[in-house]
């Protein structure tokens, strides 16, 4: 490469990074559009709209109907944000919290009023018209009760599985919009009978919702497969609104809006600033570390990481992703993987320089040899992210989105940007091997001889965690310290006599509530009022009365200014089930990929065992340390899984390579050599990611510390399992627990 070309490449990378950075900070216009401040934030970081619905006509609805209604609402509000929450409040209320929005009326209008939906035949069994058209529109000729009694209502909203707006093109290539309906298994036959009768008689079937006709389509065929389309001169918005109305009318219970309000961030306003500060400090330390350890390649990697961060911020806006604490976990993991990719490459370059090759040749060979490990590690984690994105519930989707975005960008910056920067530096005259570092031959460490010691220690830690969980559960404290997101609790709303900022609430009010209830406190302010919502674990009547008295004595409020409601968990059983299914499918997909790439199922099984070990150890830590299990628990565990699988694959990639290069070596020699060769990578990558999370722990608010602490344990555990256990697991599977390998 000529010097002029090298200068051009450096200028392009620099200008693009600066340009993207400018947009990230100041945006594309005077309003800051596309800047970092324009990123949609979740309820935990920025708050949003809270809407409370009440069941119509029943103060004690059936628990199954309530659970079904909550789950269906959760599936619908995910269209506004993957981080939207739906939970029960009291006995007959449902609360919906949607982040990133502030106009409750617009949400209510788009979401629709959850009422009862009916599909009404044009005529009854005797041929009498159930409805008729007048100058003012369609009107009912009978009451709903009468039509329910005589069978004129052929379907109800609960018979509809899904409704969505779809588009097609006519012969002139003009867009046409319709509403596509899918019936439930029970509704399929009802719909087939109704459309067969209506088609034979040339009749319509009216869709009646919330005391009004929303559509009266004429039946143009007998529809027996449970699918249908409502056509007409719709705009897309009209079709989408009709589909939304049909979906919301399919709830098990009829709801009415009780009230709506704009609430503040669950983690507090300072959560954002402290997280940014922690991220900045951590990033600076990582950059300094990379330069100090890897010299010129470390500088190239640092510049590539700057480009990576700038691109992540830009694309979070571009794809309109909602950033939450779980999303931050995904970004941290992808930064760790970006650093890891560079460390793997630089270690390879140093190894080639140690053999006497030129710098130019070493750079090329280093990237080529590192490619398979980087691709396998990143693609395996990307597979998991895609599966979680497709199958996981909303809170998991947010994590999966940022993780998938981060992985793709980290591969680009590591394999493309870093490579071009190194080539440009070389072309500009920085050719001395001392600028790149020369690898040293290390004597293989005999990790494998201590395999049973490592396994026994790990089993002891996991067993200790299981024992603690059993003892805690037997004592009535719960196997784990579940937060209100998992088990529900009490929401106490206090209308203070004066406005109180979050610092005052955190430092003065929350400690009193914590002392009385013995529970952690989650604070939400209500915009435009002096109201504050304090969410705690479940409290009984005497404790509730004691809390009221403490608030009255310390803050001058009256009994009338304090209201309390029992709230359900925001993480429903259905969400837990969906998450578990998604994780299991992701693990199976990762296993298949590893089997195909490594041509040995035992590599995949060993990797899964290693990550299972990490998850169980962190679970034991949650149990023993009684760290609060919040809604970030799943993201924490998934981060550890992604981190563990990536670290293990790097080692197995080296095992595969050494088996081909030195086939005469015994299995023990191959494994020990491979682990030793990748040891610096395992330590350095774990250290840099650990530092990033450690800053979050020491500088973050309490909720962020509850997330960062187990993540730090998981990172350390992932390093341990990949170095000490993964190779041992593969060896034991390969030899069938024999002392010596019987065949090469």
At residue 271, the pLDDT reads: 65
Within a domain: 416: yes
At residue 206, the pLDDT reads: 93
DSSP per position, 98-122 = EET---HHHHHHHH-----EEEEES
How far is the C-alpha of 188 from the C-alpha of 396, rounded, in Å?
32
CB 187 within 8 A of CB 174: no
Residue 740 pLDDT exceeds 50: no
The arithmetic mean of pLDDT across residues 433-452, rounded, is 88
How far is the C-alpha of 292 from the C-alpha of 71, rounded, in Å?
52
pLDDT tens, 280-317? 888 888 899 999 999 999 999 999 999 998 998 898 88
How far is the C-alpha of 468 from the C-alpha of 650, rounded, in Å?
34
Same-domain pairing of 287 and 421: yes
Residue 44 pLDDT exceeds 90: no
Tell me the C-alpha to C-alpha distance, in Å, between residue 682 and each of 86, 643, 650, 730.
41, 11, 9, 18
Give the sign of the dihedral formed by CA 726, CA 727, CA 731, CA 732. Answer: negative
Residue 249 pLDDT exceeds 80: no
Give the mean pLDDT of the chain: 84
At residue 481, the pLDDT reads: 86
Residue 739 pLDDT exceeds 60: no
At residue 114, the pLDDT reads: 61
Categorize the per-residue pLDDT at 172 as very low, low, confident or very high, splitting at 50, 70 and 90: low
Q: Under 8 Å CB-to-CB from 209, ≥6 apart: which residues?
A: 115, 116, 117, 118, 157, 245, 246, 249
How far is the C-alpha of 476 from the C-alpha of 106, rounded, in Å?
45
Within a domain: 287: yes
The arithmetic mean of pLDDT across residues 376-383, rounded, is 86
Within a domain: 450: no
- Comparing 171-185, 190-204, 284-298, which segment has the lowest mean pLDDT? 171-185
Residue 68 pLDDT exceeds 90: no
Rg (CA), the chain: 30
Same-domain pairing of 656 and 634: yes
pLDDT tens, 577-605? 777 888 888 888 888 888 888 888 889 89
* Domain CATH number, residue 206: 3.30.1360.200
Same-domain pairing of 527 and 504: yes
Strands (E), 415-554: 489-495, 522-525, 531-536
Tell me the C-alpha to C-alpha distance, in Å, between residue 15 and each of 32, 36, 422, 550.
20, 19, 17, 59
According to DSSP, the residues that pair with 524 across neighbouring strands are: 533
Which is higher by pLDDT, 429 or 638?
A: 429
How far is the C-alpha of 82 from the C-alpha of 157, rounded, in Å?
25
Within a domain: 143: yes
Within a domain: 744: no
Residue 385 pLDDT exceeds 50: yes
Tell me the C-alpha to C-alpha distance, in Å, between residue 145 and each of 113, 148, 150, 151.
21, 5, 9, 10
Categorize the per-residue pLDDT at 33 as very low, low, confident or very high, splitting at 50, 70 and 90: confident
pLDDT tens, 561-575? 998 888 887 776 767
Categorize the per-residue pLDDT at 265 as very low, low, confident or very high, splitting at 50, 70 and 90: low
- The Cα diameter of the chain in Å comes to 97
* Domain CATH number, residue 551: 3.30.70.600
Give the sign of the dihedral formed by CA 37, CA 330, CA 690, CA 705. Answer: positive
pLDDT tens, 105-135? 666 666 655 667 899 999 998 999 999 988 7
At residue 610, the pLDDT reads: 92
CB 402 within 8 A of CB 316: yes
Element (H, E) at 652: helix 633-661
Residue 730 pLDDT exceeds 60: yes
Ranges of H-type helices in 151-235: 185-201
At residue 266, the pLDDT reads: 63
First to last CA, the chain: 45
How far is the C-alpha of 166 from the C-alpha of 219, rounded, in Å?
19
Same-domain pairing of 100 and 122: no
Range with the largest mean pLDDT of 10-19, 103-112, 521-530: 10-19
Last residue of a domain, one of 250, 281, 308: 250
Please, how many CA atoms are within 13 Å of residue 203, restricted to the half-sphere of its CB? 22
Same-domain pairing of 303 and 180: no
Which is higher by pLDDT, 422 or 114?
A: 422
Collapsed DSSP state (helix, strand, coil) of residue 531: strand
Last residue of a domain, one of 250, 285, 303: 250
CB 741 within 8 A of CB 668: yes
Same-domain pairing of 583 and 720: yes
How far is the C-alpha of 331 from the C-alpha of 329, rounded, in Å?
5
How far is the C-alpha of 42 from the C-alpha of 664, rounded, in Å?
56
At residue 744, the pLDDT reads: 44
Range of the domain at 542: 489-567
CB 213 within 8 A of CB 138: yes
The arithmetic mean of pLDDT across residues 647-666, rounded, is 89
At residue 743, the pLDDT reads: 43
Residue 194 pLDDT exceeds 80: yes
How far is the C-alpha of 618 from the C-alpha of 692, rounded, in Å?
18
Residue 527 pLDDT exceeds 70: yes
**Chain-centre distance for alpha carbon 531:** 30
Residue 335 pLDDT exceeds 80: no
Categorize the per-residue pLDDT at 722 as very low, low, confident or very high, splitting at 50, 70 and 90: very high
Same-domain pairing of 586 and 563: no
Within a domain: 444: no
Same-domain pairing of 246 and 295: no
Q: Provide the number of structural domains found in the chain.
A: 5
Within a domain: 42: no
Element (H, E) at 562: strand 562-567
How far is the C-alpha of 343 from the C-alpha of 349, rounded, in Å?
10
Q: Under 8 Å CB-to-CB from 76, ≥6 apart: which residues?
A: 111, 244, 247, 248
Same-domain pairing of 511 and 618: no
Residue 45 pLDDT exceeds 90: no
How far is the C-alpha of 260 from the C-alpha of 567, rounded, in Å?
16
**Chain-centre distance for alpha carbon 703:** 17
Same-domain pairing of 122 and 226: yes
Last residue of a domain, one of 534, 567, 600: 567
Residue 471 pLDDT exceeds 90: yes
At residue 629, the pLDDT reads: 83
* Domain CATH number, residue 635: 1.20.1640.10
Within a domain: 584: yes
Same-domain pairing of 604 and 460: yes
CB 343 within 8 A of CB 684: yes
According to DSSP, the residues that pair with 533 across neighbouring strands are: 493, 524
Residue 720 pLDDT exceeds 90: yes
Which is higher by pLDDT, 306 or 332?
A: 306
pLDDT tens, 606-615? 988 998 999 9
Same-domain pairing of 377 and 515: no
Collapsed DSSP state (helix, strand, coil) of residue 257: strand
Q: Please report, rounded to a whole number, the percentage of residues in the chain having pLDDT higher than 90.
A: 30
pLDDT tens, 667-696? 999 999 999 999 988 898 888 888 888 888
Collapsed DSSP state (helix, strand, coil) of residue 50: strand
The arithmetic mean of pLDDT across residues 236-257, rounded, is 79
**Chain-centre distance for alpha carbon 641:** 14
């Amino acid at each position: 490469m000529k010097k002029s070309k090298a200068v051009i490449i450096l200028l392009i990378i620099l200008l693009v990074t600066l340009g993207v950075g400018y947009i990230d900070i100041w945006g594309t216009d005077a309003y800051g559009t596309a800047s970092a401040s324009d990123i949609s934030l979740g309820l935990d970081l920025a708050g949003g709209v809270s809407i409370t619905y009440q069941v119509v006509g029943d103060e004690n609805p059936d628990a199954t109907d309530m659970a079904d209604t909550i789950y269906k609402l959760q599936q619908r509000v995910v269209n506004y944000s993957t981080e939207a929450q739906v939970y029960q409040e009291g006995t007959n209320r449902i609360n919906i919290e949607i982040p990133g929005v502030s106009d409750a009326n617009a949400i209510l209008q788009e979401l629709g009023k959850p009422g009862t939906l009916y599909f009404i035949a044009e005529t009854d069994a005797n041929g009498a018209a159930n409805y008729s058209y007048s100058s003012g529109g369609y009107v009912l000729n009978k009451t709903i009760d009468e039509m329910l009694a005589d069978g004129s209502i052929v379907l109800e909203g609960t018979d509809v599985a899904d409704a969505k707006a779809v588009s097609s093109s006519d012969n002139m290539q003009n867009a046409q919009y319709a509403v596509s309906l899918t019936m439930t298994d029970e509704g399929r036959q009802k719909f087939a009978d109704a459309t067969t009768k209506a088609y034979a008689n040339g009749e319509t079937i009216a869709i009646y919702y919330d005391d009004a006709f929303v559509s009266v389509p004429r039946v143009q065929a007998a529809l027996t497969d449970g699918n249908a389309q409502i056509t007409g001169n719709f705009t897309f918005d009209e079709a989408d609104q009709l589909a939304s109305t049909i979906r919301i009318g399919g709830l098990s219970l009829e709801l009415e809006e009780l009230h709506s309000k704009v609430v503040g961030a669950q983690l507090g306003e300072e959560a954002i600033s402290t997280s940014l500060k922690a991220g900045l400090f951590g990033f600076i330390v990582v950059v300094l570390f990379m330069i100090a350890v890897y010299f010129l390649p470390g500088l190239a990697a640092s510049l590539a990481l700057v480009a990576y961060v700038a691109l992540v911020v830009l694309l979070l806006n571009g794809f309109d992703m909602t950033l939450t604490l779980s999303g931050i976990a995904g970004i941290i993991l992808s930064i760790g993987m970006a650093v890891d990719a560079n460390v793997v490459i630089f270690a390879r370059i140093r190894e080639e320089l140690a053999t006497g090759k030129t710098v130019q040749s070493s750079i090329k060979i280093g990237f080529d040899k590192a490619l398979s490990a980087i691709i396998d590690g990143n693609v395996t984690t990307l597979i998991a992210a895609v599966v979680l994105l497709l199958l996981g519930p909303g809170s998991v989707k947010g994590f999966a989105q940022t993780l998938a975005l981060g992985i793709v960008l980290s591969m680009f910056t590591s394999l493309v940007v870093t490579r071009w920067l190194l080539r440009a530096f070389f072309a500009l005259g920085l050719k001395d091997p001392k600028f790149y570092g020369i690898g040293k031959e290390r004597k293989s460490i005999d990790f494998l001889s201590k395999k049973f010691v490592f396994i026994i220690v790990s089993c002891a830690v996991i067993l200790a965690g299981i024992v603690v969980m059993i003892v805690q559960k037997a004592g009535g404290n719960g196997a784990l310290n579940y937060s209100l997101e998992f088990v529900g609790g009490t929401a106490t709303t206090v209308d203070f006599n004066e406005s109180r900022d979050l610092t005052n609430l955190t430092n003065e009010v929350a400690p009193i509530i914590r002392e009385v209830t013995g529970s952690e406190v989650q604070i939400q302010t209500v915009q435009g009022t002096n109201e504050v919502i304090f969410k705690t674990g479940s409290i009984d009547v005497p404790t509730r009365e004691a809390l009221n008295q403490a608030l009255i004595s310390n803050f001058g409020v009256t009994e009338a200014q304090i209201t309390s409601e029992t709230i359900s968990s925001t993480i429903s059983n259905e969400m837990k089930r969906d998450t578990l299914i998604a994780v299991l499918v992701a693990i199976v997909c990762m296993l298949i990929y590893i089997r195909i790439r490594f041509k040995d199922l035992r590599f995949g099984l060993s990797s899964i065992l290693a990550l299972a070990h990490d998850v169980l150890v962190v679970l034991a830590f949650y149990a023993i340390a009684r760290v609060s299990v919040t809604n970030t628990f799943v993201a924490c565990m998934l981060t550890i899984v992604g981190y563990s699988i990536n670290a293990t694959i790097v080692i197995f990639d080296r095992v595969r390579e050494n088996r081909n290069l030195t086939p005469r070596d015994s299995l023990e020699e191959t494994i020990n050599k491979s682990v030793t060769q990748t040891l610096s990578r395992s330590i350095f990558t774990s250290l840099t990611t650990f530092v990033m999370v450690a800053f979050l722990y020491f500088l973050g608010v309490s909720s962020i510390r509850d997330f960062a602490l187990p993540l730090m344990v998981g990172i350390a555990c992932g390093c341990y399992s990949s170095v000490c256990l993964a190779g041992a697991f593969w060896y034991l599977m390969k030899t069938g627990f024999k002392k010596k390998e019987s065949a090469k």
